[in-house]
Amino acid sequence: MRFLTLAVISLWAISVNAQKQTSASKPKLVVGIVVDQMRWDYVNKFKPFFKTQNGFLHFINEGATCDNTIIPYVPTVTACGHACAYTGSVPALHGIAGNMWYDNVKQKQVYCVDDTSVQTVGSSNNAAGQMSPLNLWTTTIGDELKLATNFKSKVIGVSLKDRGAIIPAGHAADAAYWYDSKSGNFISSTYYAPTLPSWLTNYNSEHHVDSLYKKGWNLSLANMVYEANCDGDENAYESTPFGKETKHFPYDFNAFIGKDYAKVATTPYGNNLVIDVAKQALINEKMGADNVTDLLAVSFSSPDYIGHSFGPNSWETMDGYIKLDEILADFFSFLDKHVGKGNYTVFLTADHAIANIPGFSKKHNLPGDIYDDGAVKNDIIACLNANKLDPKLISFVGEYNIYFNHPLMDSLHISNESLTNFITNYLEKKPQVLQVIESRKASIAPLPQMAREKIVNGYNVQRGGDLMLLTKSGVVDGSPTGTSHGVLYNYDAHIPFLLVGNGIKHGAINSPTYMTDIAPTITTLLGIQMPSGSIGKPVLDVLK
């Protein structure tokens, strides 16, 4: 009897210990944050001006920063970036070959998260919700978390952009919510559930966009701070997303109230909407409430819209980050209150960075020019016409990928080699062009090994172009106003990778790391299998 009592007591002690150990060793919640278009150098540049010490600086003061994190593939665009951060993989393997591509098998244009087999949930705008992770071929952090916990983990993605919510949440996700700019609602698709949860329907009914529009956009700091640290407030090479006459601070948005729900994307308030929905999801879906780790994937799209219009050196971009810093500080306090300090881990990265506006570069004698897909296509057609060839021999040009029309080539008896030679010889004479690469032969292109590797990693046989255009540094696939991203140069490829919380060591890592290392670092922290197509290495220096 005495032996039995002792045995029961010691078993109880073991189980209590085991429980304590699980709660101490694993986070109850992982929050992944993607800041769309964030350059690595923004934190350093804006550090003296942040109004809080516990937003972006929380990562620096208490967490880890990997300061040389590079995207190891092209194209450096939103869909591929979100896919890479959460799969540890690259377009060649995970299938997300761009925001948009031409499917060589189906012979048609495809948007990265298109899925016509599902319906919109939460809006009558059906085009906005026929979306799912169907086109993603490998597993994500969330999928592996689900597999490791017999699907008890909750996984939810939130973003303004459909692809920013759907791809990070993965295949087995509980939900993904994104913004419908027609209705001003956060919506989803029947891939996840037949209806929106009531908490989100309630949130949508409150029309938060309108109350944010009422505030207008005023600077957070004195004008002189922006004057001293940015380009001028008004430049002919900036876009005018709020109307042709509305070019400088303070911005008045009253005209958009009740009418135009798209404009909010190009203001800092897009971030307020996303964090509101993320917080509501966390509370109402009880995320981080027990010892089974949950994953909340948040993607802030507004920095991308702002950056495209006004560029990385603008007042708008700087003010957007000053305001995002306050949102992050508030979110950390929220997590402390609802999940508990020490019970969660947050990582922050970007899907890609951004080029300077070509006009800004020219003003400062830096390399900069414009060569957009439309111009590339026109040049190829001119080349084909000059050689008395059918312009229909090219089926699609997008994200600097050139797709051949193989059925037409076969019927006209035109070889791959001759079409490649015509186009290559023609385009390589253009001042913006560095090289035209034959995608299947990228591994032997006359380029440094790292550049070749980026092209090979980014080329998907079913979804990539026959040729890839490599532009010179500073050349942007965009219009005379604003700027863009997508190429292999460091201004597009150098991204932040910051971590803080449960299991994360304090310190700055300067040795080279890659975007593909993010997912295996998180799965190592959680002690779960890495995503199926992951080619990265865990950054062990950031883990306790």
Amino acid at 224: M
Q: Is 69 part of the annotated catalytic residue set? A: no
Within 8 A by CB and 6+ apart from 373, the residues are 397, 398, 399, 400, 477
Amino acid at 503: G
Q: Which is nearer to Zn ion, 266 or 395 (CB)?
A: 266
Q: What share of the chain is helix, strand, coil (3-state, %, to 5)?
A: 40, 15, 40
Smallest separation, CB 96 to Zn ion (Å) = 15
Smallest separation, CB 182 to Zn ion (Å) = 21
Range 277-306, binding Zn ion (CB under 5 A): 304
> 232: phi > 0 → left, psi -120 to 50 → alpha, else beta; which?
beta
Burial (0-12, 13-18, 19+ Cβ within 10 Å), 365: exposed
Instruction: Choose, from 65, 76, 78, 513, the residue flagged as catalytic.
Output: 78
Q: What is the DSSP string of 401-463?
A: EEEE-HHHHHHHT--HHHHHHHHHHHHTTSTTEEEEEEGGGGGGSSS-HHHHHHHHHH--TTT
Residue nearest to Zn ion (CB): 304
CA distance 498 to 64: 6
The reply to whether omega before 75 is within 30° of 0 (cis) is yes
Smallest separation, CB 487 to Zn ion (Å) = 12
Query: Residue 466 in contact with residue 438, Cβ under 8 Å?
Result: yes
CA distance 226 to 316: 9
Per the structure block, which two tokens stand in for 127? 């085009």
Q: Which is nearer to Zn ion, 350 or 433 (CB)?
A: 350
CA distance 296 to 309: 29
Residue with tokens 């209590």: 16
Could you tell me the CA-to-CA distances from 439 to 54, 76, 406, 524 in Å, in that order?
45, 16, 15, 34
Q: How many CB atoms lie within 10 A of CB 420?
A: 17
CA distance 287 to 281: 8
Binding flags for Zn ion, 390-429, as an x/- string (CB under 5 A): ----------------------------------------
Smallest separation, CB 308 to Zn ion (Å) = 6
Q: Which is nearer to Zn ion, 82 or 146 (CB)?
A: 82
Q: What is the DSSP string of 372-397?
A: -HHHHHHHHHHHHHHTT--GGGEEEE
Q: Which is nearer to Zn ion, 220 or 267 (CB)?
A: 267
Q: Which is nearer to Zn ion, 174 or 304 (CB)?
A: 304
Smallest separation, CB 81 to Zn ion (Å) = 9
CA distance 305 to 310: 9
| Interaxial angle between packed helices 208-215 and 269-284, expressed in degrees from 0 to 180 and rounded to the nearest 10 | 150
Exposed e or buried b for every residue in 3-18, given b needs 16+ CB within 10 A? eeeeeeeeeeeeeeee
Q: Which is nearer to Zn ion, 142 or 486 (CB)?
A: 486
Range 300-339, binding Zn ion (CB under 5 A): 304
Smallest separation, CB 305 to Zn ion (Å) = 8
With contacts defined by CB under 5 A, how many residues of the chain interact with Zn ion? Answer: 1
Smallest separation, CB 376 to Zn ion (Å) = 18
The reply to whether omega before 520 is within 30° of 0 (cis) is no
If DSSP codes are grouped into helix, strand and coil, which group holds residue 191? coil
Smallest separation, CB 324 to Zn ion (Å) = 16
Residue with tokens 């020019």: 369
Smallest separation, CB 37 to Zn ion (Å) = 5
Smallest separation, CB 354 to Zn ion (Å) = 7
Q: Which is nearer to Zn ion, 31 or 354 (CB)?
A: 354
Please state the φ and ψ torsions of residue 156, each to the nearest 5 degrees: -135, 140
Q: Which is nearer to Zn ion, 304 or 399 (CB)?
A: 304
Q: Which is nearer to Zn ion, 120 or 484 (CB)?
A: 484
Q: Per CB under 5 A, does 238 bind Zn ion?
A: no
Binding flags for Zn ion, 446-485, as an x/- string (CB under 5 A): ----------------------------------------
Q: Which is nearer to Zn ion, 80 or 335 (CB)?
A: 80
Active-site residues: which are they? 78
Interface contacts to Zn ion, rule CB under 5 A: 304
